[in-house]
Amino acid sequence: MYRVIIIGAGPAGAYLAYLLSRAGLRVLVLEKERFPRYKPCGGGITPKVVNLLGFDLGHVIEDRINTIVFSHRLTRPVSFTSEKPFTYMVSRDRFDALLADMAKKAGADILEGYRADSVEVTGKQVAVHSNGTVWQGNILVGADGAHSFVARSLGLAGEKKTAAALEAEIPVPAGRLRYYRSMIKIDYGIVPAGYAWIFPKSDHLSVGIWSTSPRQKRLKRLLEIFLHSEGLSEPASRVKTQGWIIPVNHKLKNLHKGRAMLLGDAAGLADAFTGEGIFPALYSARLAAEVIAAQDVSPLPDLGQYAELVREKLGPELAGAFRLNRWVSPITGFIHGVLHRHQDLVRNFIEVASGDLSYTRFVQYFSQHMKTALRI
């Protein structure tokens, strides 16, 4: 009998397994894929992630970003450079494999190639069926991503707000890659309520597009236009193009039920302004670990404390991101003009990414700037 059974070994599940195993709990993780596995993702991690994890990520970091170039509808680029890196580039196959490895070394049982087929949660225990075997445990954790099977099985899926995303991994010659070193490019305006990005990796570029707008039918075409504008459109150079969803639910409902709880994308915790989901996934794992480790094995665990903590610690930030997305999306051209004149807005946003400034404070700062800009 396991104390905790976790479904999914992405950042949320693997990090929770690591924390709980280190605390001496018996943990099982079922992961349907085998590592290293591809996950459609830009692989941009903020300093908040590096600080939260607190262990050496040096060998999986493929670039350190200190320049950002914004354009609007592929025109009028404006660039900003900071002394310190404000984003790090990882490839999800290696980053996720590292976290799973850390969890294994801490003592977690991680079974790769095991898809959870069904789950049962009663007052006394949880049972998970996979590959013809049944495992029993005290607590069930759904860390199984945006299409969470656990959330659906337990009636926790609710009505989720999701963004659609498309990512292409494009190998480019070394000289071309050098041009993109330490720099990310973001275009606002080409895609409704979202943006297009270019993120440099060690041997390729991650180029993608995402949108929180319900009218997302043209994403493939918009990605082609974006690639073409960067001279990256030869079809032969495209290795993988994959669509996925990013769940952005700042209302934070349906996070637990009895002995079961949801983490990361399964709980819909991504940032509606930037699409950042790795930090909230890891942070929700940290909060879950605190609550689980503090509870007795025998009585019904009170996972409501986890939901309260998520709402308290992540709620205001995710709500701030949601508000910013709603304000900025209809007026990206105007905002871009403001960015040309007020680069301190970018500097402040970098502080948000680093965890040095709250979204709540940034939103106040942003609205003051907009009022001033409108008076000009």
Ligand X SMILES: Cc1cc2nc3c(=O)[nH]c(=O)nc-3n(C[C@H](O)[C@H](O)[C@H](O)COP(=O)(O)OP(=O)(O)OC[C@H]3O[C@@H](n4cnc5c(N)ncnc54)[C@H](O)[C@@H]3O)c2cc1C
User: Could you give the angle at the alpha carbon of 116 between the alpha carbons of 115 and 119, nearest 5°?
Assistant: 175
Residue 126 touches ligand X, criterion: CB under 6 A:
no
| Separation of alpha carbons 222 and 167, rounded Å | 12
Q: What is the closest distance, in whole angstroms, from the C-beta atom of residue 299 to ligand X in the complex?
A: 28
Q: Are 113 and 33 in contact (CB under 8 A)?
A: yes
Interface with ligand X (CB under 6 A), residue from 62, 167, 187, 317: 167
Q: Work out which of 53, 102, 103, 116 binds ligand X, going by CB under 6 A.
A: 116
Among 3, 11, 18, 227, contact with ligand X (rule: CB under 6 A): 11
For residue 4, with 0-12 CB atoms within 10 Å meaning exposed, 13-18 middle and 19 or more buried, which class applies? buried
The yes or no reply on residue 62 touching ligand X (CB under 6 A) is no
Answer yes or no whether residue 303 interacts with ligand X by CB under 6 A: no
Interaction between residue 143 and ligand X (CB under 6 A): yes
Across 239-251, b (16+ Cβ under 10 Å) vs e yields eebeebbbbbbbe
- Based on its alpha-carbon atoms, the radius of gyration of the chain, rounded to whole angstroms, reads 21
- How far apart, in whole angstroms, are the C-alpha atoms of residue 120 and residue 7? 13
Q: Is 289 in the site for ligand X (CB under 6 A)?
A: no
The reply to whether 268 sits near ligand X by the rule CB under 6 A is no
Residues 6 or more apart whose Cβ sits within 8 Å of residue 145: 8, 10, 264, 265, 266
- Least distance CB 340 / ligand X (angstroms): 25
Q: What is the DSSP string of 266-317?
A: HHTB--TTT---HHHHHHHHHHHHHHHHTS-SSSPP-THHHHHHHHHHTHHH
Measured CA to CA, the distance from residue 334 to residue 330 in angstroms comes to: 9
Strands 133-142 and 162-170: unpaired
At 130, is the secondary structure helix, strand, or coil? Answer: strand
Nearer to ligand X, 145 or 200 (CB): 145
- Should residue 149 be labelled a site residue for ligand X when binding is judged by CB under 6 A? yes
Distance in Å, CB of 55 to ligand X, minimum = 17
CA separation (Å) from 282 to 53, 66, 82, 105, 143?
8, 23, 26, 18, 10
x/- track of binding to ligand X for residues 210-249 (CB under 6 A): ----------------------------------x-x---
Question: Which residue sits closest to ligand X, CB atoms considered?
Answer: 277
Nearer to ligand X, 44 or 137 (CB): 44
3-state secondary structure of 74: coil
- Asked if residue 8 binds ligand X (CB under 6 A), the reply is yes
Residue closer to ligand X by CB (options 212, 370) is: 212
Asked if 44 interacts with ligand X (CB under 6 A), we say yes
314-333 mask for ligand X (x: CB under 6 A)? --------------------
Does 270 interact with ligand X (rule: CB under 6 A)?
A: yes
Q: Which of 72, 56, 48, 244 is nearest to 146 (CA)?
A: 244
Give which of 195, 11, 202 is closest to 88, Cα–Cα.
Answer: 202
Question: How many residues contact ligand X, by CB under 6 A?
Answer: 38
CB of 9 or CB of 370, closer to ligand X? 9
Minimal distance, residue 304 CB to ligand X, in Å? 21
131-139, 188-196, 263-271, 309-317 -> range binding ligand X (CB under 6 A) = 263-271
276 is a site residue for ligand X (CB under 6 A): yes
Check: CB of residue 163 under 8 Å from CB of residue 189.
no
Nearer to ligand X by Cβ, of 63 and 276: the residue is 276
Residue 42 touching ligand X (CB under 6 A): yes
- Pick the stretch among 76-84, 254-262, 264-272, 314-322 that binds ligand X (CB under 6 A): 264-272
Q: Which residues bind ligand X (CB under 6 A)?
A: 7-13, 30-33, 39-44, 115-116, 143-145, 149, 165, 167, 208, 244, 246, 264-266, 270, 275-279, 281
